[in-house]
Homo-oligomer: A and B are copies of this chain.
Amino acid sequence: MSGSTETNLVFSALADKSRRQIVELLHTKDSSIVELTQSFDMSFQAISKHVRILENAAILKKRKQGKFMICSLNHQALTDSLKWISYYSNFWNESFNKLEGLIKKQKND
């Protein structure tokens, strides 16, 4: 229940702030590793390692384009973690309760 190996990889990958930042960058635009590096105060090789970790968690895919490796997000890899957190954050309960509250309030107006 606390998750498959893949879910574990995703949670571990997202634990690092720099890697979350890479996800954010890729969400706006597919990028090569050099491109990504420009947003960080860190060596190219360090970013390359982070990219590798995200790749192992299937959060991003690389495709070769000439001498570049273009990285792009694989949103689907995040859904298991999303489900886990949704469930244990009681998200739907809370939201439905709020909705119910709104409805009651409306009736009383």
Check if A91 sits within 8 Å of B79, measured CB to CB.
Answer: yes
Check if B85 sits within 8 Å of A78, measured CB to CB.
Answer: yes
From A11-19, A61-69, A100-108, the one touching the partner chain is A11-19
A37 sits at the interface (CB 8 A): no
Number of residues in A with C-beta < 8 Å to the partner? Answer: 30
A contacts, CB < 8 Å to B: 1-3, 8, 11-12, 14-15, 17, 20-21, 23-24, 27, 73, 75-76, 78-79, 81-82, 84-91, 94
User: How many identical chains are in the complex?
Assistant: 2
Check if B23 sits within 8 Å of A15, measured CB to CB.
Answer: no
Across-interface contacts of A20 in B (CB, < 8 A): 2-3, 11, 84
Sampled A-B contacts (22; CB under 8 Å): A1-B21, A1-B24, A2-B20, A3-B17, A11-B11, A12-B15, A14-B85, A20-B84, A23-B88, A27-B88, A73-B88, A75-B88, A75-B89, A75-B90, A75-B91, A78-B85, A78-B88, A78-B89, A79-B91, A82-B85, A82-B86, A82-B91
